[in-house]
Amino acid sequence: MAKKILVIHGPNLDLLGEREVEIYGKLTLDQINDELNKLAKELGAELSIVQLAGEGEIVKKIGSAKKEGFAALLINPAGYTHYSVAIRDAVAAVSIPTVEVHLSNIYAREEFRHTSVIAAVASGQVSGFGLNSYLLGLRAAVGLAK
């Protein structure tokens, strides 16, 4: 049976392709999702992909992930990465492996982006490789999924 993986894109990632292209690249979110779905097929995984702008919506989605049968979570928390204790607590509360990804290298940018409050409760983090952050993160998530 295919491993079910939940993919959450946080706020403003729906604007990829037009948003700060020198930092985030020219790919749109749909193109990233197509590549994720292609790789998932190869890896024997099935993805459910959502883009959510609200912190509460993300918290709720993570909270119901186990009940909904997801075996792992791949998340780009976007701006929430740096301060959302509520998303961190949701990841800690749901006992499924979580991989945090970022298109840009958050450690090479403004100081306020150097901290991820999510990283310590995630299984791991991939940052700085554009589309490949997501693809590497997906490989890790599938590997961790039971």
Residue-by-residue DSSP string for 92-130: HHS-S-EEEEESS-GGGS-GGGS--SSGGGSSEEEES-T
Choose one: 41-49, 65-73, 97-105, 117-125; the region binding ligand DQA (CB under 6 A): 97-105
Please work out, in degrees rounded to the nearest 5, the angle formed at the alpha carbon of residue 103 by the alpha carbons of 67 and 88: 40
With beta carbons less than 8 A apart as the criterion, state whether 82 and 117 touch: yes
Q: Give the nearer residue to ligand DQA in terms of CB position, either 4 or 113.
A: 113
Applying CB under 6 A, which of residues 52, 75, 76, 87 lies at the interface with ligand DQA? 76
Q: CA torsion 42→48→51→56, rounded to 10°?
A: -140
As a whole number of angstroms, the distance between CA 119 and CA 104 comes to 15
Smallest separation, CB 81 to ligand DQA (Å): 6
Kindly identify the residues of this chain, within the stretch 8-67, that bind ligand DQA according to CB under 6 A. 12
The smaller minimum CB distance to ligand DQA, of residues 31 and 104, is found at: 104
Stretch that binds ligand DQA, among 25-33, 36-44, 53-61, 73-81 (CB under 6 A): 73-81
Comparison of 33 and 66: residue with beta carbon closer to ligand DQA: 33
83 near ligand DQA, judged by CB under 6 A: no
- Residues belonging to the active site: 24, 102
**Taking Cα atoms as reference points, which of 64, 53, 67, 113 lies closest to residue 90?**
64
Chain residues binding ligand DQA by CB under 6 A are 12, 76, 78-79, 81, 102-104, 106, 113
